[in-house]
């Protein structure tokens, strides 16, 4: 147990924790939390990286960033959203004060609805290329992040939204059977890309992935827990508290060893997309630029517009 306590104190210093009296904390230069600071009101150490669609706050005292999707109505993954997402991840990754990030939604009932269909409709080949590259980029950064990533899934999370959750280190979902999660692409006549599938298989295993992907299932929260798609359910009002507790547990480990272990587990799947990135883009373009697909997309969007009004 002494070793564990020690490890907790070591933080990022990582590889040196076999001893108890090391000059441990290698980020001693950052200011300690002020003892005068009132609880619940972190003044100095909280830095905001918020931008248009994603709100980011870093609590430098704990090393934990909170990332909230805030792109009404349903946090769909548009090119702009994805770009902001990747930039935010990169900023946090490069910030030595940040060791972990909790990802959640600032909107009620929805975590993220997945890829934005309007990005796939009536645009140029250049646009499709740029869009798909942004989807890949987001996943490469998130699945390969050196930070501890915890998804606090406080609403439904279909398709690309599910991918975001699956790419984190840990998934906590609000205990609400009305919220569902899954890679439901097949329901829409679309095939999930191979790296969505790889990520899914790494979480739930081959058999559950095969069945769920073929049926395009959206699993209500209790079923998602049973299948291992999420790690635990908590009442919605306790979600953030639980996410913080889980984050603290993961941050108790020395960063360096944890990061190398994570890389060891995920490298094969990350490398596979890197090796086939251009083919994957070509596949997407050839699919999306079919006249038949374009026609259905246009009609689908019109239907959505009418429903709103």
219 counts as binding a copy of itself under rule CB under 8 A: no
201 counts as binding a copy of itself under rule CB under 8 A: yes
Instruction: Give, as ranges, the residues between 220 and 279 that touch a copy of itself (CB under 8 A).
Output: 228, 231, 249-250, 253-254, 256-258, 260-262, 264-266
Sorted by sequence, the CB contacts under 8 Å of residue 130 that are 6+ apart come out as 79
Number of residues engaging a copy of itself in binding (CB under 8 A): 68
Whole-angstrom distance, CA of residue 80 vs CA of residue 119: 10
28 counts as binding a copy of itself under rule CB under 8 A: no
Two tokens, residue 177: 């059977």
Over the window 46 to 65, marking each residue x when it contacts a copy of itself by CB under 8 A and - when it does not, the resulting string is: --------------------
Q: Which of 39, 292, 305, 308 binds a copy of itself (CB under 8 A)?
A: 292
22 counts as binding a copy of itself under rule CB under 8 A: yes
Query: From the CB of 154, what's the least distance to a copy of itself, in Å?
Result: 21
Instruction: Give, as ranges, the residues between 165 and 194 that touch a copy of itself (CB under 8 A).
Output: 169-170, 185-192, 194
Sorted by sequence, the CB contacts under 8 Å of residue 286 that are 6+ apart come out as none
Compare residues 41 and 207 and give the one whose CB is closer to a copy of itself. Answer: 207
Kindly list the strands in the beta sheet with 148-153, ordered across the sheet, starting from the edge strand earlier in the chain: 46-48, 54-59, 64-69, 100-105, 148-153, 170-174, 232-234
Residue 28: exposure state from Cβ atoms within 10 A (0-12, 13-18, ≥19): exposed
Q: Which residue numbers are catalytic?
A: 115, 160, 184-185
Compare residues 237 and 309 and give the one whose CB is closer to a copy of itself. Answer: 309
Whole-angstrom distance, CA of residue 289 vs CA of residue 40: 51
The b/e string for 213-252 (b: 16+ C-beta within 10 A; e otherwise) is: beebbbbbbebbbebebbbebbebeebbebbbebbeebbe
Cβ-contact 230, 153 below 8 angstroms: yes
Query: From the CB of 36, what's the least distance to a copy of itself, in Å?
Result: 34
Q: What's phi and psi for 296, nearest 5 deg? A: -65, -35
Whole-angstrom distance, CA of residue 82 vs CA of residue 135: 7
Compare residues 96 and 290 and give the one whose CB is closer to a copy of itself. Answer: 290
The residue ranges that bind a copy of itself (CB under 8 A) are: 2-4, 7, 10, 13-22, 117, 169-170, 185-192, 194, 197, 201-207, 209-211, 213-216, 228, 231, 249-250, 253-254, 256-258, 260-262, 264-266, 287, 290, 292-293, 295-300, 303
């Amino acid at each position: 147990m002494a070793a564990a306590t020690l490890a907790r104190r070591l933080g990022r210093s990582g590889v040196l924790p076999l001893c108890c009296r090391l000059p441990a904390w290698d980020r001693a230069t950052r200011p300690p939390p002020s003892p005068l600071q009132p609880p619940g009101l972190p003044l100095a150490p909280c830095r905001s990286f918020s931008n248009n669609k994603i709100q980011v706050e870093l609590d430098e005292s704990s090393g934990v960033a909170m990332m909230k999707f805030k792109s009404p109505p349903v946090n769909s993954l548009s090119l702009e959203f994805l770009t902001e997402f990747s930039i935010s991840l990169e900023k946090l990754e490069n910030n030595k004060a940040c060791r972990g990030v909790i990802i959640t939604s600032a909107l009620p009932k929805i975590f993220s609805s997945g890829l934005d269909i309007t990005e796939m409709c009536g645009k140029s080949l250049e646009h499709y290329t740029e869009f798909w590259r942004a989807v890949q980029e987001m996943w490469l950064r998130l699945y390969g992040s050196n930070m501890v990533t915890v998804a606090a899934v406080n609403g439904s999370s279909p398709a690309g939204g599910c991918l975001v959750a699956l790419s984190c280190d840990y998934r906590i979902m609000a205990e609400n059977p009305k919220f569902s999660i899954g890679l439901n692409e097949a329901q829409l006549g679309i095939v999930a890309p191979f790296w969505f599938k790889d990520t899914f298989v790494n979480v739930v295993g081959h058999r559950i992935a095969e069945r769920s992907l073929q049926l395009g299932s959206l699993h209500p929260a209790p079923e998602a827990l049973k299948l291992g798609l999420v790690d635990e359910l908590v009442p919605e009002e306790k979600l953030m508290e639980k996410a913080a507790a889980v984050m603290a547990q993961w941050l108790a480990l020395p960063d360096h060893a944890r990061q190398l272990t994570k890389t060891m587990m995920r490298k094969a799947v990350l490398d596979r997309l890197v090796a086939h990135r251009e083919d994957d883009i070509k596949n997407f373009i050839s699919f999306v630029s079919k006249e038949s697909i374009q026609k259905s997309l246009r009609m689908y969007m019109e239907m959505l517009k009418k429903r709103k009004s």
